[in-house]
């Protein structure tokens, strides 16, 4: 292959991770920079392009790179822009794909982080060979990438498929998006910690979690307690899985996917989360859909997953005007 590599860039709220990927989905070299320390996007891009150039040199120069794929919060595939991302230091609309291409002279494609995860799963992971599936990312928030007939669903404006902001509880928890009762507020890692704080406040049953500072409890604390057999922590995972399972039953109704694939930090909970999701999804499915949709965890290695997902876009990246 004349150009055997692509670059993947995953822009997170805290860190930006990037790497060179080959056609088999191996991350050849990678590096990262802090996102949060750059309030000026130009300074951020200076550091990012310096890091990318360093990796490009390590694999033999720009002639070896076919394209660059970027996954970012509120990334719009149609425009190549990041638009009003709440968790990034830069506000408004930024034509980030063009800004990177202008600096490096390599074609760049950009999409949101959950869509990048779906493309990565289809190219290198659990969705290989599938044409209809949904990826749900369970991290600080809840994101999703929906694939129908082998194509990502972008909608008319590039922003389709925000399943994390489907309302699952009317007048429920306040969400960072400004609405109430979004799926994200209950089933993200922060949602699990929020449930723990709620239970500890309104209930009196004993729990290992009571030994911790209630304001700093994390989903990992809840997982550790559940692994130790803590009844309250186990109930938190049951409740989280129930809400997610009910939501998945709704997702199946509109696209009848072959699989729903879960990706992100919260999936480390394994069966603690998957068993209640499966039970409550099947319980709430229309009869015509029962037993047809697989529930899977991502097959991408976690440390490489974000870069792999973004890099998959790089194979198709076209020169921006």
Instruction: List Cα–Cα distances, 98 to 87, 95, 146, in angstroms.
Output: 21, 6, 25
In tens, the pLDDT along 130-167 reads 999 999 999 888 999 999 999 999 999 999 999 999 99
**Torsions phi, psi for 207 (to 5 deg):** -160, 145
**Torsions phi, psi for 157 (to 5 deg):** -120, 0
Centre a 10 Å sphere on the Cβ of residue 301 and count the other Cβ atoms it contains. 12
Taking 80 as the threshold, does the pLDDT of residue 1 lie above it?
A: no
Q: Which two tokens stand for residue 321?
A: 């005007």
Q: In what helix (H) or strand (E) does residue 151 lie, and over which residues does it extend?
A: strand 151-152
Which tops the pLDDT comparison, 318 or 9?
Answer: 9
In tens, the pLDDT along 78-119 reads 999 999 887 788 989 999 999 999 999 999 999 998 899 999
pLDDT value, residue 2? 81
In tens, the pLDDT along 47-59 reads 999 999 999 999 9
Residue in the structure block whose two tokens are 């590096």? 31
| 3-class secondary structure, 109 | strand
C-alpha–C-alpha distance, residues 269 and 251, integer Å: 22
Contacts of 19 (CB under 8 A, 6+ apart): 7, 8, 27, 28, 29, 30, 31, 55, 304, 307, 311
Express as a percent the part of the chain with pLDDT over 90.
83
Q: Which two tokens stand for residue 255?
A: 């696209």
Please state the three-class secondary structure of 6-43 as a single string: EEEEEECCCEEEEEEEECCCCEEEEEEEECCCCCCHHH
Counting Cβ atoms within 10 Å, is residue 173 exposed (0-12), middle (13-18) or buried (19+)?
middle
In tens, the pLDDT along 229-285 reads 999 999 999 999 999 999 999 999 999 999 999 998 899 999 999 999 999 999 999
Which tops the pLDDT comparison, 320 or 207?
Answer: 207
CA 301 to chain centre: 14
């Amino acid at each position: 292959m004349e150009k055997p590599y692509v670059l993947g860039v995953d822009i997170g709220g805290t860190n930006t991770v990037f790497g060179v990927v080959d056609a088999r989905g191996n991350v050849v070299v990678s590096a990262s920079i802090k996102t949060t320390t750059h309030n000026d996007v130009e300074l951020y891009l200076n550091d990012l392009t310096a890091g990318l150039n360093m990796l490009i040199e390590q694999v033999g120069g720009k002639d070896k790179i076919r394209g660059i794929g970027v996954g970012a919060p509120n990334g719009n595939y149609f425009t190549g822009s990041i638009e009003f991302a709440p968790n990034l230091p830069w506000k408004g609309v930024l034509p980030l794909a063009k800004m990177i291409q202008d600096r490096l002279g390599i074609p760049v494609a950009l999409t949101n982080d959950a869509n990048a995860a779906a493309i990565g799963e289809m190219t290198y992971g659990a969705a290989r060979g599938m044409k209809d599936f949904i990826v749900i990312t369970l991290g600080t928030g809840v994101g999703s990438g929906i694939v129908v007939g082998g194509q990502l669903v972008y909608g008319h404006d590039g922003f389709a498929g925000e399943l994390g902001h489907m309302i699952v509880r009317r007048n429920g928890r306040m969400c960072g998006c400004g609405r109430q009762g979004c799926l994200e507020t209950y089933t993200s890692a922060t949602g699990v910690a929020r449930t723990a704080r709620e239970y500890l406040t309104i209930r009196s049953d004993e729990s290992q979690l009571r030994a911790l500072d209630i304001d700093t409890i994390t989903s990992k604390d809840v997982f550790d307690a559940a692994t130790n057999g803590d009844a309250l922590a186990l109930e938190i995972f049951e409740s989280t899985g129930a809400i997610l399972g009910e939501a998945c039953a709704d997702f199946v109704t509109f696209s009848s996917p072959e699989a729903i694939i879960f990706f992100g930090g919260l999936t480390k909970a394994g069966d603690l989360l998957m068993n209640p999701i499966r039970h409550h999804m099947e319980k709430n499915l229309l009869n015509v859909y029962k037993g047809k949709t697989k529930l899977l965890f991502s097959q991408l290695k976690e440390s490489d997953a974000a870069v792999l997902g973004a890099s998959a876009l790089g194979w198709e990246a076209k020169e921006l005007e």
